[in-house]
Structure 1
Amino acid sequence: MAVIEAPQQPSSPPPRRRKPRRRSRLLTILGLALVLTGVGFIGYVGWELYGTNIVSAQKQEAVKEQISEDWANNIDSNAIGLLRVERWGSDYEMPIIPGSDLLDSKGRSALASGVGWYEKGVGPGEVGNFVIAGHRSGRGAVFKRLPDLRAGDIVEIETRTQLYTYQLRMNGDEIKVDYTTAWPLFPVPDPNARGATPTDELLTMITCAEMFSTDNRRVVIGDLVEVVDKPAVQAAPAAQ
């Protein structure tokens, strides 16, 4: 008897390998995240270096306009005066704004609108340490060129009633201290003069030592050499 063989079933094709879609998708998301992070960082740096300068320049002009208006009316403005530095050019003029300890919110606001005055020290022309500070980069960069200062340079402070002239003792790049160093704020700005009673009228200017770092500070000190009383402002005649 003949044997009937069952027809052979065609062999099934080998299973296809799945494409690593999930891994590819994760790599795409990761790459996109890195790109967005990079763009965001560049945008942040650009804003800090340039955008804040524009905003601060507008604030500085507004403060100077207010000073001019107040002084014309024999009123002490919220800003205590104007700073001029001979070496930085005849067009350099910055408002000096009370800044408490220069680290709180009031101090940060002062530094964003001009030069900050350390209120715990003395005022311009007074015996003791008149301390002012400013940014080197961003927010107006009002003390960007502080390291360029040289011993003997003239710094002028104008208030509503007086004109004070200070002469610097040292170069602007001569003193560099850690940001935690306190002696530049002493009544006598000297590391060996803690608790000393001041006898001279001094000016101390402070800024960051490096353009993009806040770890260190540059400090320059000056002595008061001249005080000139400004002529009294004449009241405007009453309208007829």
Structure 2
Amino acid sequence: MGRVSSPADPTTPSRRDRPRRRGSRILTVVGVLLIAFGVGVLGYVGYQLYGTNITSRHAYDSEREQLKRQWQQPATSADPQQGGTSKKDTVIPGDAIALLSIPAIGLHEIPVLEGTSDDVLARGIGHYSQTADPGQVGNFAVAGHRITHGEPFSKLLELNRGDQVVVETRTKIYTYAIDNAPKKLTVTDTDSWVLDPVPGKPNAEPTKKLITLTTCQDLFHSPDRSVGFGHLIDSRKKS
């Protein structure tokens, strides 16, 4: 005959204990899932803050070296920097077009790429395609990340009036001076007037050679943008 358990038998859980154990198992499973979720979130945040910087800085190096090799090759008649076809007809979105340096904040030869898509901004500084080319009459406007993806503009809000921005193309080096520091102007991401040929005057005919720098106003996602303006003070041919 099989053993008959009595309520006093310690080897057999009572009916009262069974729901408690099932509840304990559920809490354990929920706890494990919450820990896994937390680890996943921390991993994602860590990748955004650090991993994307590593990946993007490798991309910066690659774009820079590729552009310099391209400049060493003979220019074609279609090269807009040689007075040929318009840049709009020759440059593909995502192409590197220049190198940008800002000595005052330790920025050195960051590639400037055509367009401002997420992919472009992960590989360098983006040039607003509808704005002027480097060194040309009008408004040469660019955008860059302040945090993540290489964060080239992480210190942009430290710029002051008179600080210089140097833009190198195949044939020339253009130097701009900051007129309005980025820390003094905040706009929303829909305030497109900052990209006008004459910022804030959409119908005005441009006569000056300007530069506009834009970046996120906050360290994390925000619709606000910090904007700096400058003008060309020097242009010289590369030897």
2:221 counterpart of 1:229 = no
2:224 counterpart of 1:216 = yes
Deviations 1:199-230 (A, max 9, x none): 21110000000111222110000001111122
The aligned residue for residue 202 of structure 1 is 210
Given that residues 86 and 155 in structure 1 are in contact (C-alpha distance below 8 angstroms), is that contact kept between their aligned partners in structure 2?
Answer: yes
Report SS of the residue matched to 1:199.
Answer: coil
Name the structure where helix makes up a greater proportion of residues: 2
Distance 1:225 1:13 in 2: 95
2:146 counterpart of 1:132 = no
Percent identical: 41
Q: Over aligned residue pairs, what C-alpha RMSD do you find?
A: 1.8
Distance 2:203 2:22 in 1: 68
Count matched residues. Answer: 211
Match of 1:94 among 107, 110, 115: 110
Unaligned runs of 5+ in 2: 1-5, 9-13, 80-90
**Pairing of 1:105-144 with structure 2 (within 5 A):** 107-144=117-154
Match of 2:102 among 54, 70, 85: 85
Deviations 1:25-64 (A, max 9, x none): 2211211111111111110011001101111111111111
4+ residue runs over 4 A deviation = 12-16
In structure 2, the CA distance between the partners of 1:13 and 1:25, relative to structure 1 (3 Å rule), is closer
Given that residues 181 and 227 in structure 2 are in contact (C-alpha distance below 8 angstroms), is that contact kept between their aligned partners in structure 1?
Answer: no
**Pairing of 1:1-240 with structure 2 (within 5 A):** 16-19=15-18, 20-75=20-75, 78-89=95-106, 92-99=108-115, 102=116, 107-190=117-200, 193-231=201-239
Unaligned runs of 5+ in 1: 1-11, 232-240
Distance 1:71 1:160 in 2: 5
In structure 2, the CA distance between the partners of 1:28 and 1:74, relative to structure 1 (3 Å rule), is same
The aligned residue for residue 6 of structure 1 is none
